[in-house]
Amino acid sequence: MNAPNKSGWKPQMEVSEDGLHNGPQTSTGNRALMLEEPLLFEIGHAEVTGVDLPEIDGNAPTRLGGLERTEAIGLVGLTEPETVRHYTRLSRQNYAIDLGLFPLGSCTMKHNPRLNEKMARLPGFADIHPLAPQQTVQGALEVIHELGEWLCKLTGMPAVAMSPKAGAHGELCGILAIRAAHTARGDAREVVLCPESAHGTNPATAAFAGYKVEDIPATPKGRVDVAALKARLGPDVAGVMITNPNTCGLFEKDFREIADAVHEAGGYVYCDGANFNAIVGRVRPGDLGVDAMHINLHKTFSTPHGGGGPGSGPVVFSDALAPYAPLPFVKENDDREFYLVEEERVEEVGPSFGRMTAFHGQMGMFTRALTYMLSHGADGLKQVAEDAVLNANYVLRSLEDLLHAPFADSGPCMHEALFGDRDFGGDLSTLDLAKALIDEGYHPMTVYFPLVVHGAMLVEPTETESKASLDEFIAAFRNVAERANAGDETMKQAPYYAPRRRLDETAAARKPKLAWSEPGD
């Protein structure tokens, strides 16, 4: 849809290149309740402000040390109604989990229970400050401690670090603990092994920590090639990073065998726990020989992605790595008082590698996650995993007759169903199907990941969805899949009904426009 010019338009019929009529073009650019929204710079004016501020004495002393601004910054001013309307209109053009199924594979976009939000907004949690004296925030420290105990119990691991702010941050935490353990015994190893089926952040994290990264191939069944991994083990291998369940949506059946081989070779096992949602309450990673594993609280325990600030990626540790876990962490004394173990009390924990972050975790995420755990209980969390796996397999079996499902004969999938573009007609691509799915009212699934499948389409329905909502999604997916297989060229121009038509993604990447400028500049 094109934006109106300043002089306005006479209504005319808008016709796309394929001859489809998208309705009359209006003088405003609006289409009923889908409102065209200009940029803030086009709405407001630099000389206008929405608030009344006192005049400032230009000669008054400041604390800026000669760094005062010498000219106008050029930001526009708007009234409160203008500001509220602008962001409300933009929000109507966004897709969200509160609107419908969000099928992003690997990202686990699930419903965030309103009970969690209510608990996180209680004044004692919402208003807490990270520098508050510990004796004044005993309730918050107890929440962190209890959440940590739940995570240890569910994973079968003896220790946990709550400070990492995200999954990738948690990965780095685990790898730094592995490095610290090797350093403590004078063993300077240089290589971390990453299977092809691992999350893409795994090799990036290992490289960021200073390790050389080597790939381990996958078998035709989509799992780690155990023979290849064992053949590569040696005195230079610090450890292995394995995602389980892996990014192909499959459980690594030989995980215990892999862990035993890595340990025998003197290395450690890092498990990417991003997909813990599929096995929580069913499998304890500690029983599989895991030494460190991060847990994405948003993926498994329903906290928002990021939460409007830092997210949370706690890391659980085995006995072998627990002494090297980061500081601070919460402990409880004999008088049921909670306190943070800091650097000056390091004798209580041993040779920790230090801090991951300035403050201890993200209170909003902790409160939401613990609320989710307590509202479900251990049996309920087990059902979470079972329902997530059931839903994913329902999607897989409902679409495998139309879409290439490369690992459908590898047994049931776990939390997500994986498809490829092998059967598409003409020159249609996965991107074309994804754009056509937008016209059906759905956010597209994850595309082109994992890389081991050509034109990958990764769908994760989560345990949130009912059979009715899955049936609606499957019907829409089947429609676009049938069109793709038939080589329907109109899909090359999709989406037709979104607020914006398809972008030139190549030009956007090569010639990005990151700042607003006056027309003609």
Tens of pLDDT, residues 208-265: 999 999 999 999 999 999 999 999 999 999 999 999 999 999 999 999 999 999 999 9
Evaluate if residue 6 carries a pLDDT over 60.
Answer: no
Evaluate if residue 2 carries a pLDDT over 50.
Answer: no
Question: What's the pTM value of the predicted model, to 2 decimals?
Answer: 0.89
Per-residue pLDDT band for 153 (boundaries 50, 70, 90) equals very high
Rounded mean pLDDT of 58-87? Answer: 85
Evaluate if residue 15 carries a pLDDT over 50.
Answer: no
Q: Tell me the CATH number at 412.
A: 3.90.1150.10
> Is 158 in the same domain as 189?
yes
SS3 348: helix
The pLDDT value given to residue 351 = 85
Q: Which residues of 426-445 are buried (b: 16+ CB within 10 A; e: fewer)?
A: eebbbbbbbbbbbbbebbbb
Structure tokens at 309: 């600030």
* Contact in structure between 43 and 84 (CB atoms under 8 Å): no
Residues 94, 96, 101, 106, CA torsion sign: positive
> Is 356 in the same domain as 434?
no
Place of tokens 């960021």: 208
Looking at the structure of the chain, the number of domains it has is 2
Q: Is 38 left (phi over 0), alpha (psi -120 to 50) or beta?
A: beta
346: which residues sit within 8 A by CB, 6+ positions away? 327, 352
Structure tokens at 104: 């992003």
| Lowest-pLDDT range of 50-59, 69-78, 120-129, 413-422 | 50-59
Structural domain contains residue 92? no
Given 3-state DSSP classes, what are the helix, strand and coil percentages for the chain, each rounded to the nearest 5? 40, 15, 50
Last residue of a domain, one of 370, 396, 420: 370
* Contact in structure between 14 and 25 (CB atoms under 8 Å): yes
Q: What value, to the nearest 5°, has the Cα angle with vertex 436 and ends 431 and 438?
A: 105
* Contact in structure between 348 and 339 (CB atoms under 8 Å): no
> Is 297 in the same domain as 386?
no
Residues 389-448 have pLDDT tens digits of 999 999 999 999 999 999 999 999 999 999 999 999 999 999 999 999 999 999 999 999
| Of 99, 110, 105, 107, nearest in space to 460 by CA | 105
The pLDDT value given to residue 346 = 57
Evaluate if residue 503 carries a pLDDT over 80.
Answer: yes
166 C-beta neighbours (distance < 10 Å), count: 20
Evaluate if residue 460 carries a pLDDT over 60.
Answer: yes
Last residue of a domain, one of 349, 370, 391: 370
Structural domain contains residue 318? yes
Structural domain contains residue 500? yes
> Is 217 in the same domain as 362?
yes
Q: Measure Cα distances from 180 to 186, 235, 263, 321, 352 in Å.
A: 10, 16, 16, 9, 8
Q: Could you give the CA distance from residue 45 to residue 74 in angstroms, rounded to a whole number? A: 9
Per-residue pLDDT band for 344 (boundaries 50, 70, 90) equals low
Rounded mean pLDDT of 42-60? Answer: 81
> Is 208 in the same domain as 152?
yes
Q: Could you give the CA distance from residue 320 to residue 340 in angstroms, rounded to a whole number? A: 22
Q: Could you give the CA distance from residue 428 to residue 487 in angstroms, rounded to a whole number? A: 6
> Is 354 in the same domain as 225?
yes
Evaluate if residue 464 carries a pLDDT over 90.
Answer: yes
| Lowest-pLDDT range of 48-52, 77-81, 255-259 | 48-52
> Is 196 in the same domain as 289?
yes
Structural domain contains residue 393? yes
- The most confident of the ranges 93-97, 147-151, 166-170 is 147-151
Q: Could you give the CA distance from residue 227 to residue 208 in angstroms, rounded to a whole number? A: 27
Residue range of the domain that includes 425? 377-508
> Is 253 in the same domain as 357?
yes
88: which residues sit within 8 A by CB, 6+ positions away? none
Bridge partners (DSSP) listed for residue 15: 21
Structural domain contains residue 35? no
Residues 415, 420, 425, 428, CA torsion sign: positive
Structural domain contains residue 149? yes
Peptide bond into 444 cis (omega under 30): no
> Is 430 in the same domain as 499?
yes
Q: Mean pLDDT across the chain, nearest whole number?
A: 90
> Is 189 in the same domain as 337?
yes
Structural domain contains residue 399? yes
| Lowest-pLDDT range of 113-117, 127-131, 413-417 | 127-131
- φ and ψ of 362, to 5 deg: -130, 105
> Is 272 in the same domain as 167?
yes
SS3 406: coil
Per-residue pLDDT band for 86 (boundaries 50, 70, 90) equals very high
Rounded mean pLDDT of 470-496? Answer: 97
Residues 172-188 have pLDDT tens digits of 999 999 999 999 999 98
Last residue of a domain, one of 370, 402, 434: 370
Looking from the CA of 247 toward its CB, the CA atoms found within 13 Å total: 27
Q: Tell me the CATH number at 298.
A: 3.40.640.10
* Contact in structure between 76 and 45 (CB atoms under 8 Å): yes
* Contact in structure between 212 and 203 (CB atoms under 8 Å): no
Structural domain contains residue 62? no
> Is 288 in the same domain as 323?
yes
The pLDDT value given to residue 348 = 58
